[in-house]
């Protein structure tokens, strides 16, 4: 990871020293965990994603300097960790003070904006370099905005001239340092200080996921965002089944009845295609196999067709939190001549599983038991998705 490699020209100061009063959890906000990772650690993902080497400085409450340093070592993230001050502005100043001399462009970022995409950092750096002055990410204001005083409405403010301001805020280093050296008041963001020092600041597009985690509702929003972006974990399985021919039995293969064809022997209807599919699905999910879940001891399964096994298998998977991706299955047999009914079989089995199923068929050039016409076999693969 290219954080803090030799001679970085970009410095990133992540401020994480706030107390989180409005969140009200009794711990500094940056150390509150969301789905097992702290807000601070999550906020660093955007920096970790940058292609260019950066000098990373993280500003935390003084008692958190040592544990944060340990956390970063464990995560393989190189950074300077320093203690913050009593206001955001003081914390930024303390971070700026330890940036290496090679840094020309500085980005200041709130750890509380834990889900800011890397692209926003890149937009800000590009704009600072192109313009030679500061740049901040903003979003348009979508509500009507009105002045209020003692709960009484005043004038409506023209929202087309307003923007909601986010971080990272980027500046040529010399302009930001001058602004902090000359700061007279405690202002709420870095752009305000730089403008007070006489420098222009332009805007780039912000991002809705850059919202600042401030109040308890924002934690719920963070959970929702993570759930929406969760990547399901794919798992594959394989299943095989074989039955001998029984000329007295009706033939059921791939959920279809094949009149006039010799049938397959078995406790159920001997449908090798359906049984191989069930084993592939159950194997993919790690939930056992057909024999152990739907054994011959169950009288309801005597003579049962594909529908019974597939619907039950799907229910077992769904109850365990799995979703079926797709199934591919091949029948290996001299008979029946399958291709004319492939589309019918795919549609029937796919409907039962609620997922695409593709059935193909082949012979073995006279080799082995399928080639001799003693029986039929089928082999299936399945893809299932576990909840992330």
Ligand X SMILES: C[C@](O)(CO)[C@H](O)COP(=O)(O)O
Ligand Y SMILES: Nc1ccn([C@@H]2O[C@H](COP(=O)(O)OP(=O)(O)OP(=O)(O)O)[C@@H](O)[C@H]2O)c(=O)n1
Give binding residues as ranges: 241-243, 267-268, 275, 289-291, 362-365, 369, 372
> Nearest-CB residue to ligand Y?
18
Question: Which of 178, 214, 334, 363 lies at the binding interface for ligand Y (CB under 6 A)?
Answer: 214
**Which DSSP string corresponds to 318-369?**
HHTTEEEEEEEEEEE-SSS--GGGHHHHHHHHHHHHTS-EEEEEE--TT-HH
Distance CA 240, CA 278 (A): 9
59 versus 124: smaller Cβ distance to ligand Y: 59
Q: Which option in ligand X, ligand Y, none does residue 86 bind, with CB closer than 5 to 8 A by kind? A: ligand Y
3-state SS assignment for residue 281: helix
Judged by CB under 6 A, does residue 62 bind ligand Y?
no
Cα–Cα distance, 296 to 227 (Å, whole number) = 41
Which range of residues in 110-118, 217-225, 341-349, 363-371 is near ligand Y by CB under 6 A?
110-118
Dihedrals φ, ψ of 195, to 5°? Answer: -70, -35
Look up residue 247 and give its two tokens.
């000329």
Do residues 220 and 314 make contact, with C-beta atoms less than 8 angstroms apart?
no
168 binds ligand Y (CB under 6 A): no
Query: Nearest CA to 313 among 338, 341, 284?
Result: 284
Establish if 116 lies at the interface with ligand X (CB under 6 A). Answer: no
Please choose, out of 73-81, 86-94, 265-273, 306-314, the segment that lies near ligand Y by the rule CB under 6 A. 86-94
Backbone angles phi, psi at 281, to 5 degrees: -65, -45
Shorter beta-carbon distance to ligand Y: residue 112 or 278: 112
Is 90 among the residues that bind ligand X (CB under 6 A)? no
Minimum CB distance to ligand Y smaller for 19 or for 296: 19
User: Helix or strand or coil: residue 384?
Assistant: strand
Query: How many Å apart are CA 260 and CA 310, to the nearest integer?
Result: 25
Q: Which is nearer to ligand Y, 100 or 216 (CB)?
A: 216
Q: Residue 18 or 350: which CB sits closer to ligand Y?
A: 18
To ligand X, the closest distance from the beta carbon of 38 in angstroms equals 18
Question: Per-residue contact track with ligand X, 157 to 176, x per CB under 6 A?
Answer: --------xxx---------
Report the residue number, 218 or 307, with the smaller CB distance to ligand Y. 218
139 is a contact residue toward ligand X (CB under 6 A): no
Neighbours of 186 (CB within 10 A): 11
Q: Give pairs for 61-66: CB < 8 Å, separation 24+.
A: 61/17, 61/19, 61/28, 64/16, 64/28, 64/30, 64/31
43 binds ligand X (CB under 6 A): no
Under the binding rule (CB under 6 A), the answer on residue 110 touching ligand X is: yes
Alpha-carbon radius of gyration of the chain:
32
Return the one option of ligand X, ligand Y, none that residue 346 interacts with (CB less than 5 to 8 A, by type).
Answer: none
Interface residue list for ligand Y (CB under 6 A):
15-22, 29-30, 59, 84-88, 91, 110-112, 212, 214
**What are the residues binding ligand X (CB under 6 A)?**
88, 110, 165-167, 188-189, 212
């Amino acid at each position: 990871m290219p954080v803090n490699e030799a001679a970085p020209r970009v410095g990133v100061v992540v401020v994480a020293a706030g107390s989180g009063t409005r969140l009200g959890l009794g711990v500094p906000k940056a150390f509150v965990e969301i789905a097992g990772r702290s807000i601070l650690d999550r906020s660093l993902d955007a920096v970790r994603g940058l292609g260019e080497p950066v000098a990373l400085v993280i500003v935390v409450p003084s008692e958190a300097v040592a544990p944060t340093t340990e956390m970063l070592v464990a995560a393989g993230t190189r950074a300077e960790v320093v203690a913050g001050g009593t206001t955001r502005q003081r914390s930024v100043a303390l971070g700026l003070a330890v940036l290496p001399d090679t840094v020309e462009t500085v980005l200041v970022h709130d750890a509380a904006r834990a889900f800011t995409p890397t692209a926003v950092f890149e937009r800000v750096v590009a704009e600072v370099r192109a313009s030679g002055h500061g740049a901040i990410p903003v979003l348009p204001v979508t509500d009507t905005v009105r002045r209020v005083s003692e709960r009484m409405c005043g004038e409506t403010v023209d929202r087309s001239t307003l923007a909601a301001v986010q971080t990272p805020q980027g500046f040529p280093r010399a302009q930001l340092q001058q602004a902090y050296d000359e700061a007279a008041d405690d202002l709420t963001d870095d752009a305000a200080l730089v403008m007070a020092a006489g420098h222009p600041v332009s805007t780039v597009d912000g991002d809705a996921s850059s919202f600042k985690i401030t109040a308890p509702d924002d934690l719920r929003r963070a959970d929702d965002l993570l759930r929406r972006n969760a990547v399901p974990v794919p798992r594959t399985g394989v299943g095989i089944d074989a039955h001998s021919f029984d000329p007295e039995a009706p033939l059921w293969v791939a959920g279809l009845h094949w009149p006039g064809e010799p049938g397959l022997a078995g406790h159920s209807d001997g449908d090798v295609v359906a049984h191989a599919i069930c084993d592939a699905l159950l194997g993919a999910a790690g939930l056992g196999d057909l024999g152990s879940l739907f054994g011959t001891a169950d009288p309801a399964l005597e003579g049962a067709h594909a529908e019974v096994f597939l619907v039950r298998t799907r229910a077992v998977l769904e109850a365990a939190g799995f979703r079926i991706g797709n199934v591919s299955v091949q029948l290996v047999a001299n008979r029946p001549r399958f291709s004319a009914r492939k589309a019918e079989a795919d549609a029937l089995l796919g409907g039962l599983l609620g997922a695409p199923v593709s059935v193909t068929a082949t012979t073995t050039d006279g080799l082995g038991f399928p080639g001799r016409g003693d029986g039929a076999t089928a082999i299936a693969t399945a893809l299932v998705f576990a909840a992330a």
